[in-house]
Chain A
Amino acid sequence: MEELIQHLTPILQEVWGYIFPNEIELHWGILIVLYPYLTGLVAGAFILASLVKVFNVKELQPTYRLAMLTAMAFLIVAPLPLLAHLGHPERAYEILITPNSTSAMAMFGFVYAWYLMAVLCLEIWFEYRRDIILWAQKEKGIKKWIHKIISLFSKDISEKAIHFDKKWVKIITIIGIPSAFLLHGYVGFIFGSIKANPWWSSVLMPIVFLFSAIVSGIAMVLILYMIITPVRGKQLDILCLDKLASYLFYVMIIDFSLEALDFVHRVYESEESIKILAYLVSNKLFISLVVIQLFMGMLIPLAMIALIKILKSPPDLKKMVYFISAILVQVGIFSTRWNIVIGGQLFSKSFRGLTVYKITFFGLEGFFASVIVFCLPFVLLYILTKILPPWEEARNS
């Protein structure tokens, strides 16, 4: 408690205007910013993977299995910041055993479980099953047993069984697309359904969340593909990169349009909260929203990729532009999450004041903890690529 008091006391002096006395403590901090960022990457990576299976975009084939494993790695780590943020993490199971059906957060637990088990795990299982069985046959020791358990001790690799697998991968992907929409749209709904907070309360919130998730997911797969391939000593497939960048471009246009629509709509309707929100954006959120989210994260990558498309560019320039754009996009989308979560708590519900968010370095909600949480999915992805290698060469022909 002492730490909290010491943390809050200087903030009292930095309040502008009037805030309700209880609002001095910002309740959802960087851990809650990280959470939609991580689940967004899941939905985005999955949608990308579904482009391969359902819409038969052949150029993206090299990234399919990697995208699935990326989605899995981020999905497993994503509940961690939520758990760490709870006042009583040891009671977290209550959400599953006595969920309140009117609570978006509680129902989301089941959407998450559905997506994890019925979509992601199942699709990866069907996609890899044949290879897992063949690997198990060739290996020895603990790796053999890991693969045997993952395959659920199945042994059938006949033509009929493989055909069954392929058919079901397609079916699950088709079910998976609306499930991925539901997964991240739901996170948007958790914020968008709070009528008490005019910055969050919007019909567009689930849609904006979803499309910014797809943007970040595609950009993440692009970055991973561009880093991992040369590290493994292989050649980058430029057609694959071109296709990834194209889809990134199109979805960014949609995302930008949605965010512009939200902005225009707010300013045009000019409701009660417009004054304090305008003050919020032009003061506290200017750098993170206008400079980072809009300019660096949206306009510059759009311009760069557009130029590359219009002018015929050499492959090396293309690769550099794609990589830089994707990094900028990641920073921009993280900033988007920050502006929504933190921004929504910086202004008072009295509409008359602003507070500040001071992030600590240490502690469970500190900067270092967040960096660790962000790095964990990559570690998990590495482990997953060792257990279920997504590379072409690892496949058994």
Chain B
Amino acid sequence: MKNFLQKIPEQVKRLSVLLIVVVVVFIVATSLLTPKDFGLMGHYRADAIKINADKKMQYAGQEACADCHDDMWKTKNAGFHKNLSCEVCHGPSLNHVNEPDQFKPDKPRDRIFCPVCHEYNPSRPTGFPQILSASHNPRRICVTCHNPHNPTPPQTPKECSACHAEISSAKSVSSHMDIPCTKCHEASEKHKLHPREYLPTKPTNREFCGQCHSQEAKGDEFIPRISMATHEPRYVCWQCHYPHLPEAQ
């Protein structure tokens, strides 16, 4: 053993000692500094789950309001705003649930809040109730006519254009401008109150347009006529002709 140790070059001895010191220091430091909960459930501190889960909530969730505001809750759930959470309009209200007298939720009563959803924007889905706030009863705040918990308009809209403004404006400059919407779309009055539950009809076949546009149709002379048999028989008319602006190329 001693002979073996003597044969090892001096450099190797010195470097080995240094290496062992470095390794030991590294191992000791690692075990001292690694957090106790690291690696228990994966390559992370298991405590982090608890830290993320223990954060304070600000929103109560709409079920929480039902406990005290039962009447308003029932009203809301029967009207058009039934899918709205109370806190969309009233803001985060968990502190109000915990201490009702100390914290009061917001009550937006201006003309700026409702248009956040209801202002007309061509990117919004068709049929979503939208208004142009500049021209829609300009000086009155929205809640004057619309109870926010049951926002049914005070008067049922007379025209289809009240909700389908984009379509209406396209049609109003087209050759179909004098045709009432109901000529092609059968809609019951119920559609105005429950739009998604009672949908209007849409024409389903070429013969429908043919009522006015086929060679044999009875009607004014200036209505363009085509031969139903030879004019693109494999397509329905509206695959090429936008019915609300048929002259568009």
Contacts and interface: CB of A to CB of B under 8 A. Distances in A.
Are A and B in contact, CB atoms below 8 Å, in the complex? yes
Interface of A: 93, 96-98, 100-101, 117, 122, 126, 129, 152-156, 160-161, 164-165, 168
Contacts of A161: 9-11
Interface of B: 9-11, 14-15, 17-18, 22, 26, 29-30, 33-34, 38-39, 43
Chain B interface helix/strand/loop/mixed = helix
30 contacts: A93-B29, A96-B26, A97-B29, A97-B30, A97-B33, A97-B34, A98-B34, A98-B38, A98-B39, A98-B43, A100-B43, A101-B43, A117-B22, A122-B15, A129-B11, A152-B15, A152-B18, A153-B14, A154-B10, A154-B11, A154-B14, A155-B10, A156-B11, A160-B9, A161-B10, A161-B11, A164-B9, A164-B11, A165-B11, A168-B11
Nearest to A165: B11
The 3 closest A-B pairs by CB, nearest first: A152-B14, A156-B10, A97-B30
Contact of B33 (A93, A100, A164): A93
Contacts, number: 38
Contacts of A156: 9-11
A100 B44 CA distance: 9
A97 B28 CA distance: 10
Contacts of A152: 14-15, 17-18
A97 B29 CA distance: 8
Given A93-B33, A117-B22, A161-B11, 12 more contacts: A93-B29, A97-B29, A97-B30, A97-B34, A100-B43, A101-B43, A122-B15, A129-B11, A152-B14, A152-B17, A154-B10, A156-B9
A275 to B, nearest CB: 24
Contacts of B14: 152-154
Contacts of B43: 98, 100-101
Nearest to A129: B11
A152 B11 CA distance: 9
Contacts of A97: 29-30, 33-34
Contacts of A100: 43
Contacts of A153: 14
Nearest to B34: A97
A166 to B, nearest CB: 12
Contacts of B26: 96
B12 to A, nearest CB: 9
B16 to A, nearest CB: 10
B115 to A, nearest CB: 23
A129 B33 CA distance: 35
Nearest to A160: B9
Nearest to B33: A97
Nearest to B29: A97
B41 to A, nearest CB: 14
A108 B149 CA distance: 60
A231 B33 CA distance: 48
Nearest to A117: B22
A152 B16 CA distance: 11
Contacts of B18: 152
B219 to A, nearest CB: 50
A149 B131 CA distance: 83
Nearest to A118: B19
B102 to A, nearest CB: 30
